């Protein structure tokens, strides 16, 4: 599919250039041809470039870090975005907002689907 859309994009872009080129000779329609040519060119170039960029720039899956309070009596649990350097059982510098006990990272998860609210 990637190659087909690429070829299609090149054809559309070339036809856009052709419209720009041949349309300019007619003063009445030149502006309309100019717009159509520009649209065709941009659509064609988008088709050519978009496939490549999506393959190269694959966004990393969203990752969250689960932080829990060290106090077994306390049920405080926080889920926040994964930050560089997070690992399981890493002691947190911040204290529990509930009981001021130290907190530890209990899990690092990759979210595959969006969680329902
Ligand atoms: Zn706590």
Supply the range of the domain harboring residue 81: 63-110
CA of 96 relative to ligand 1 center, distance in Å: 5
Residues 10 and 33 in one domain: yes
What pLDDT sits at residue 104?
Answer: 97
In a domain, 78, yes or no: yes
In a domain, 88, yes or no: yes
Q: Is the pLDDT of residue 10 over 80?
A: yes
CA distance readout (Å), 8 to 4, 13, 54, 84: 6, 9, 17, 42
In a domain, 68, yes or no: yes
Long-range contacts of range 89-97, CB-CB < 8 Å, 24 or more positions apart? 92/67, 96/69, 96/70, 96/71
CA of 106 relative to ligand 1 center, distance in Å: 14
Span 46-101, pLDDT tens digits: 888 775 555 566 677 789 999 999 999 999 999 999 999 999 999 999 999 999 99
In a domain, 103, yes or no: yes
In a domain, 55, yes or no: no
CA of 88 relative to ligand 1 center, distance in Å: 18
What pLDDT sits at residue 24?
Answer: 59
Domain count, the chain: 2
Residues 72 and 38 in one domain: no
State the Cα torsion 90-94-100-102 to the nearest 10°. Answer: 10
CA of 99 relative to ligand 1 center, distance in Å: 4
In a domain, 9, yes or no: yes
Residues 106 and 73 in one domain: yes
CA of 111 relative to ligand 1 center, distance in Å: 26
Tokens of 13: 């872009």
């Amino acid at each position: 599919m990637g190659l087909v859309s690429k070829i299609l994009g090149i054809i559309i872009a070339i036809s856009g250039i052709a419209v720009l080129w041949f349309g300019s000779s007619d003063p009445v329609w030149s502006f309309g041809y100019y717009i159509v040519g520009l649209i065709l060119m941009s659509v064609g170039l988008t088709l050519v470039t978009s496939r490549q960029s999506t393959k190269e720039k694959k966004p990393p899956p969203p990752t969250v870090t689960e932080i829990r309070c060290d106090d077994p009596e306390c049920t405080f649990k926080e889920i926040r975005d994964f930050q560089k350097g997070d690992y399981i059982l890493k002691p947190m510098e911040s204290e529990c907002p509930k009981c001021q006990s130290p907190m530890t990272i209990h899990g690092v998860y990759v979210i595959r689907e969006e969680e329902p609210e």
